[in-house]
Amino acid sequence: MSVLVGKKAPQFYAPAVINGGEIIEKFSLEQFIGKKYVIFYFYPADFTFVCPTEILAFQHKMDEFEKREVAVVGCSVDSEFSHWKWLNTEINDGGIKGVKYPLVADQAKTIAENYDVLAGSYEVNDDGNISFIGTPQAYRGLFLIDKDGVVRHQVVNDMPLGRSIDEAIRMVDALRHFENHGEVCPANWKEGDKAMNATQEGVAEYLGSFK
Residue type, 132: F
**Crossing angle for the helix pair 50-60 and 165-181, to the nearest 10 degrees:** 40
Catalytic residue among 4, 51, 87, 185: 51
Q: Is 51 a catalytic residue?
A: yes
Question: CB-side exposure of 100: number of CA atoms within 13 Å?
Answer: 8
> Cα–Cα distance between 96 and 136 in angstroms, integer?
22
Name the CA dihedral angle for 199, 200, 205, 209, rounded to a multiple of 10 degrees.
110
Q: What contacts 14, CB < 8 A, 6 or more positions away?
A: 26, 27, 28, 104, 105, 106, 111
Q: What contacts 211, CB < 8 A, 6 or more positions away?
A: none
Bridge-based pairing state of the strands 140-145 and 151-157:
antiparallel
Catalytic residues: 51
